[in-house]
Amino acid sequence: MLREKYANEIDALLARFPHKKSAVLHLMHLAQNEYGYMSEAAMREVADIVDLDPTHVLSLAGFYSLFYEEPTGRYVLEICNDLACALRGADEFVEMASRKLDIPVEGTTNDGMFTLKTVMCLGGCDRAPMLQCNLKFYENLDEAKFEALIGELRVRAVEAGNAEPSVVERIIGYATVPESAAPASAKKAPRKRKGS
Amino acid sequence: MAHILFRHRDIPDLHKLEVYLANGGYEGLKKALSMTPAEVIDVVKASNLRGRGGAGFPTGLKWSFIPKGAPETYVLINTDESETGTFKDRELMERNPHQIIEGALIAAYAVNSHLVFNYIRGEYMDASYAFEEALRECRTAGIVGKNIMGSDFSVEFYTHYGAGAYICGEETALIESLAGNLGQPWSKPPFPAVEGLYKKPTVVNNTETLANVPGILVNGPDWFKMMGTPDSPGMKIVCISGHVEKPGNYEVPLGTTYRQLVDMAGGIRGGKKFKAILPSGGSGPIITEEALDAACSYDGLTPFRSVMGSASVIVMDETIDMVWAALKMIHFFRHESCGKCTPCREGTFWMERVLHRIYHGHGTEADIKLLESVADNMTGKCLCALGEFATSPVLSSIRHFLPEYKAKVAAGSNGRVAQRAVAAAAAD
């Protein structure tokens, strides 16, 4: 359960906001990172932490494109083929990726390793073709680099097993101010706002 | 010329607090803290700094709308940067994060806010590493937190991550998203300065806008106005992408011409001929050769019925099929329409369908008129600017490149006549 596994981080997150509902997107990122997608159980768990109706979390999962409502492959390869990237060969790059992985866009490889998606602008237009894989950017790609990346990810999956570090975990780590580093006054600050 | 915003290009390791401090960092904040909030607002007003996210609203004026003495106010940094072709705030955040933090702290002091959030698009979670580190350094050094820099002003500062929604760059949608709701805009009024986050007065500023503020405090408004043009003072980061030799971010004085920008980026790739520019990502009308000598400034493109916007310059060469480009853009807006208001939700859907059939040779002459008619039913009738933006690449491409649309339609009808002839022959 997230509440137990990330107790300190979740407490710190909730303390950031005057209303804890604001923490919902953070918690959804965390839940997806943990369970791979926004399963019904994951949504109920998030809803429970922030006292929301689970249907509200469901509506958020549908609205925001980074949340997946169906299980995905271990690595979700999201290629931007928006106009700026397409001018630099992104559409052809998507076709190539689809051929190499032998799956259509939105498909997942049989071994459950890769899901291929196309997405809207990621802010890497000057380094197209580019993609985002589990929230990490890979840029200035071509066929050879794509093949190398696929190979590298396959190796990583075996070596790291279930202990692969993720971008979401690293970000959530910043929620807590390190005890040793924070001056005593700063630690109390989040709660004390009104009229201070 | 030395950079004002991209100072990291002149100073290595500027993302580190010690380096930033050694290079005049947080002097602007120190100066602000020695003044009254009203004086800080006056300085920013006098500089005529205008919003860099696209709308160009005067920053000082925006701050002055926050009611004096409001017990709870918020400052939100808009790093949702999702416009097609925009990647400027990402570089600022990755390489010069302290300048954003400093600008936001000055804003917080000016409007008496004790809580700042940087709303960062979820896709930038990895890119925000340096920003998170910078924030952590600031907490440790007492630049963020209680009694910042030894003053009696306290402010907390956090990051917040979106989860993939272009519309959250619209300030009221951003506020809704931060509150834990669907990122859907509301119809203004109420304006965020009166009723924003948690119904409290709220300032929302673009990341690049805030990065301008420390310099203005240190060097004064006159220094700032020496750069750029009288109506558009200061420097601007222009994101150049598409068919140029050297795509990337370029920091230039406002007023630089589009021709200069294309040249700066190494000219058109592969010696091809220039065809068109989307000057504001997808959100502004297309411009052509005739506008190349216009200034990249808040009003420079007015005679050419376009806008600078966030200055995301997407360059297209002669090989580009403009119906294809328009289809790409309307596909983006259809995907990103938040669905709250009918004109935008339905309009973008139908415009994509109609453009799709024109592009694939199934359209008719009447479809071109239909596109204009749908656009007309969106213009001025949507809740927020997205609906308006969505029509502009399509309408402007029809305006400039009508023969290309007609050729598509004609080719399609020729194809259909041929198909019917083949079918008739087969039936015989």
Per-residue pLDDT of B217-244, as tens digits, reads 999 999 999 999 999 999 999 999 999 9
Each residue's pLDDT tens digit, B376-415 = 999 999 999 999 899 999 999 999 999 999 999 998 877 6
In a domain, B2, yes or no: no
DSSP annotation of B149 reads G
In a domain, B230, yes or no: no
pLDDT > 70? residue A160: yes
In a domain, B275, yes or no: yes
pLDDT > 60? residue A120: yes
Q: What is the ipTM of this complex?
A: 0.94
Question: What is the torsional sign of CA B413, B414, B420, B423?
Answer: negative
pLDDT > 60? residue A189: no
What DSSP line would sit under A8-66, residue for residue?
A: HHHHHHHHH-SSGGGGHHHHHHHHHHHHSS--HHHHHHHHHHTT--HHHHHHHHHHSTT
Which strand (E) or helix (H) includes residue B406?
helix B385-427
Q: What's the pLDDT at B425?
A: 77
- For residue A20 the two structure tokens come to 């804890």
Each residue's pLDDT tens digit, A55-81 = 999 999 999 999 999 999 999 999 999
Strand partners, B29: none
Nearest alpha-carbon partner for A195 in B115, B157, B39: B115
pLDDT > 90? residue A192: no
Closest CB from A25, A83, A87 relative to B282: A83
Nearest alpha-carbon partner for B155 in A18, A190, A15: A190
* Beta-strand relationship, A75-80 and A114-119: parallel
CATH of the domain at B25: 3.40.50.11540
Chain A (171-190) residues lying within 8 Å, Cβ to Cβ, of chain B: 171, 174, 177-178, 181-183, 185-186, 188-190
Cross-chain Cβ contact B140/A183 below 8 Å: yes
Confirm if A30 and A39 have CB atoms less than 8 A apart: no
pLDDT > 50? residue B309: yes
In a domain, B83, yes or no: yes
Name every chain A residue with its beta carbon within 8 A of the beta carbon of B177: 25
Nearest alpha-carbon partner for A93 in A134, A36, A135, A149: A149
Separation between Cα atoms, residue B205 and residue B334, nearest integer Å: 26
| Nearest chain A Cα distance for residue B337, angstroms | 10
Tell me the residue length of chain A: 196
Name every chain A residue with its beta carbon within 8 A of the beta carbon of B247: 88, 125-127
In a domain, B279, yes or no: yes
- Record: fold of A75-160: Glutaredoxin (3.40.30)
Cross-chain Cβ contact B241/A194 below 8 Å: no
Cross-chain Cβ contact A82/B84 below 8 Å: yes
Separation between Cα atoms, residue B206 and residue B126, nearest integer Å: 20
More confident residue, B56 or A186: B56
Cross-chain Cβ contact A174/B135 below 8 Å: yes
Q: How many CB atoms lie within 10 A of CB B254?
A: 23
Are both B240 and B118 inside the same structural domain?
no
Confirm if B255 and B261 have CB atoms less than 8 A apart: no
pLDDT > 60? residue B169: yes
pLDDT > 70? residue A177: no
Q: What's the pLDDT at B243?
A: 98
Percent above pLDDT 70 for chain B: 99
* The total number of structural domains that make up chain B: 3
Work out the average pLDDT over B71-80: 97
Work out the average pLDDT over B124-139: 96
pLDDT > 60? residue B97: yes
Each residue's pLDDT tens digit, B374-384 = 999 999 999 99
**Can you give the residue range of the structural domain that contains B103?**
7-225
Chain A interface includes B71 (CB < 8 A): yes
Chain A interface includes B90 (CB < 8 A): yes
Work out the average pLDDT over B272-288: 96
Separation between Cα atoms, residue B254 and residue B257, nearest integer Å: 9
Mean of the per-residue pLDDT values for chain B? 96
Each residue's pLDDT tens digit, B342-368 = 999 999 999 999 999 999 999 999 999
Q: Domain boundary at B175, B199, B225, which?
A: B225
- For residue B195 the two structure tokens come to 């009723």
pLDDT > 80? residue B428: no
Distances (CA, A) of B221 to B216, B226, B227, B248: 6, 9, 11, 29
Q: Domain boundary at B225, B244, B277, which?
A: B225
Model confidence band, residue B193 (pLDDT cutoffs 50, 70, 90): very high
In a domain, B287, yes or no: yes
Are both B54 and B117 inside the same structural domain?
yes
Are both B336 and B359 inside the same structural domain?
yes
Chain A: residue whose CA lies nearest to B134:
A174
| Nearest chain A Cα distance for residue B427, angstroms | 37
Q: What contacts B255, CB < 8 A, 6 or more positions away?
A: B228, B229, B232, B295, B296, B297, B300
Model confidence band, residue B426 (pLDDT cutoffs 50, 70, 90): confident
Are both B58 and B201 inside the same structural domain?
yes
Closest CB from A21, A65, A120 relative to B180: A21
Q: What's the pLDDT at B424?
A: 77
Q: What's the pLDDT at A159?
A: 93
Nearest alpha-carbon partner for B335 in A121, A97, A96: A121
Chain A: residue whose CA lies nearest to B84:
A121
Confirm if A118 and A80 have CB atoms less than 8 A apart: yes
Cross-chain Cβ contact A181/B140 below 8 Å: yes
Chain A interface includes B314 (CB < 8 A): yes
Q: Domain boundary at B302, B319, B336, which?
A: B319
Q: What's the pLDDT at B81?
A: 96
Name every chain A residue with its beta carbon within 8 A of the beta carbon of B164: 64-67, 119
Separation between Cα atoms, residue B121 and residue B128, nearest integer Å: 10
pLDDT > 80? residue A105: yes
Cross-chain Cβ contact B154/A196 below 8 Å: yes
Are both B411 and B392 inside the same structural domain?
yes
Work out the average pLDDT over A82-97: 97
* Beta-strand relationship, B156-161 and A75-80: unpaired
Cross-chain Cβ contact B90/A185 below 8 Å: no
Chain A interface includes B160 (CB < 8 A): yes
Domain residue spans in chain A?
Answer: 2-69, 75-160
pLDDT > 60? residue A128: yes
Chain B: residue whose CA lies nearest to A23:
B180
Separation between Cα atoms, residue B220 and residue B43, nearest integer Å: 7
Chain A interface includes B84 (CB < 8 A): yes
Q: What's the pLDDT at B420?
A: 74
CATH of the domain at B278: 3.10.20.600
Name every chain B residue with its beta carbon within 8 A of the beta carbon of A13: none
Chain A interface includes B149 (CB < 8 A): no
- For residue B333 the two structure tokens come to 């807006």
Cross-chain Cβ contact A181/B87 below 8 Å: no
| Nearest chain B Cα distance for residue A169, angstroms | 10
Are both B216 and B250 inside the same structural domain?
no
- Residue to mutate among A21, A43, A120, A177, with most B CBs inside 10 A, is A120
Are both B94 and B219 inside the same structural domain?
yes
In a domain, B63, yes or no: yes
CATH of the domain at B384: 1.20.1440.230
Match domain A2-69 to its CATH number in 1.10.10.1590, 1.50.10.20, 1.20.58.1610, 3.40.605.10: 1.10.10.1590
Are both B310 and B342 inside the same structural domain?
no
Are both B171 and B80 inside the same structural domain?
yes
The yes-or-no answer to whether A2-69 and A75-160 have a common fold is no
